[in-house]
Amino acid sequence: MRIAMLAPIAWRTPPRHYGPWELVTSLLTEALVARGVDVTLFATLDSQTTGKLAGVVPAPYCEDSTIDAKVWEHRHLAHLFEQADRFDLIHNQADFPAHAFSRLVDTPMVTTIHGFSSERILPMYKPFEDRIHYVAISEADRHPDLRYAATIHHGIPLGDFPLDPIGSEDLLYFGRIHPDKGTREAIDTALAVGRRLHIYGIIQDQGYYEREILPDIDGDRVIYHGAVGGEARSRALGQAHALLHLINFAEPFGLSVIEAMACGTPVIAMRRGSMPEIIDHGRTGFLVENLEDAAAAIDRVASIDRRAASAAVARRFSVDRMAEDYLALYRRILGGERWERPARHIPAHRAA
């Protein structure tokens, strides 16, 4: 099986710090290669893989201001589709621009939709649903008017997120600094309960950061650490009383949520988007409706068994499970089975 894996070019694959789409692309690529699959990763030239790297883009456009995103994205796509006949299947992880090339080649295509961001993108999805096999990353993110081949939750390398059975008394915010992600709400909740808050993530909205976040960063009660990766990431996620994920949008997944729980850290999240699919209420974290509920949930965190939370992630959100799910989909496609709408995922604790 020869797979062309198309990565985004905003960040390196895998990313140095931030870049969730690139991270998932890398994790899947490496897991497939480990299973003996012939994978060619189409990504920026500084990317790293144990498979074959095919690239023309000199550097990620979010890291190098000389890279024009529109120009190099089209060059990136052309580089793959000009050699599409070399592959059994193209797996597109880079959103809808690749769809414009899909009818110019015969190679089957899969697109993982890393979040259905707006109705405005539907014109680049709906007309191609008979040509491309769409994968949702959660049931919550499925668009009602679009046909899907599967829902496949992301997986993480469990060994990179070791259990911290103790944690600390401090709270954690981990994600981009943006109104959607609830940075302000995390600060308000932490201050209301009198606990220190550690903030990690890139500043995606500078105005929001300067108006709503910076005034409360004092290096004591509210501490901003910037973006981190590697061991610093796992330490931050594990050494916390709880992760505050008080989002203001229907989040399609949430890698930091499962990473925190893998480390044993319970997650307190708004009951929005995919959170009910990911968090087992009362066992791995708490689903809340407002900030008052969030503050009350902090007092209940001690009731959660951190080892059990970590074990729950190991059962459901491993890279191995993700890779096997995608391999099963590839085999169905290459075996001639066009579509199979899977049964709606029901968490084990609900099915019991």
At 259, give phi and psi (nearest 5°).
-65, -45
pLDDT (average), residues 110-115: 96
CATH number of 158-314: 3.40.50.2000
Assign 350 a pLDDT band (cuts: 50, 70, 90): very low
Has residue 344 got a pLDDT over 80?
no
Which residues on neighbouring strands pair with residue 171, listed in sequence order? 197, 242
Q: What residues pair up with 168 in beta bridges, in sequence order?
A: none
In order, the DSSP letters of 209-241 are IIIIIGGG--SSSEEE-----HHHHHHHHHSSS
Contacts of 351 (CB under 8 A, 6+ apart): none
Q: Do the domains at 2-155+318-349 and 158-314 have one common CATH topology? A: yes
Strand-strand pairing, 171-174 and 150-151: unpaired
- Ordered DSSP codes for 267-292: EEEES-TTHHHH--BTTTEEEESSHH
Q: Considering only CA atoms, which of 332, 333, 346, 321 is closest in space to residue 157?
A: 321
pLDDT tier, 341 (very low <50, low <70, confident <90, very high otherwise): very low
What pLDDT, on the 0 to 100 scale, is given for residue 118?
A: 86
Task: Please state whether 167 falls in left (phi above 0), alpha (psi between -120 and 50) or beta.
Answer: left
Q: In which band, very low, low, confident or very high, does the pLDDT at 135 lie, cut at 50, 70 and 90?
A: very high
Is the pLDDT reported for residue 123 higher than 60?
Answer: yes
pTM of the model: 0.88
Percent of the chain with pLDDT over 90: 92
Return the domain boundaries, the chain. Answer: 2-155+318-349, 158-314
Whether domain 2-155+318-349 has CATH 3.40.50.2000: yes
| Angle at alpha carbon of residue 9, lines to 329 and 227, rounded to 5° | 100
Q: What angle do CA 57, 131, 47 make, to 5 degrees?
A: 20
pLDDT value, residue 342: 39
pLDDT at 23: 95
Instruction: Render pLDDT for 268-318 as a digit per residue (tens, 0 to 9).
Output: 999 999 999 999 999 999 999 999 999 999 999 999 999 999 999 999 999
**Dist CA 105 CA 348 (whole Å):** 41
Is the previous residue joined to 60 through a cis bond, with omega within 30 degrees of 0? no
Q: Where are the beta strands (DSSP E) in the chain?
A: 2-6, 38-42, 52-54, 89-92, 109-113, 132-136, 150-151, 171-174, 197-200, 222-224, 242-245, 267-270, 285-288
Average pLDDT over every residue of 36-64: 97
Which has the closest alpha carbon to 306: 348, 256, 261, 245? 261
Cα separation, 136 vs 148, whole angstroms: 7
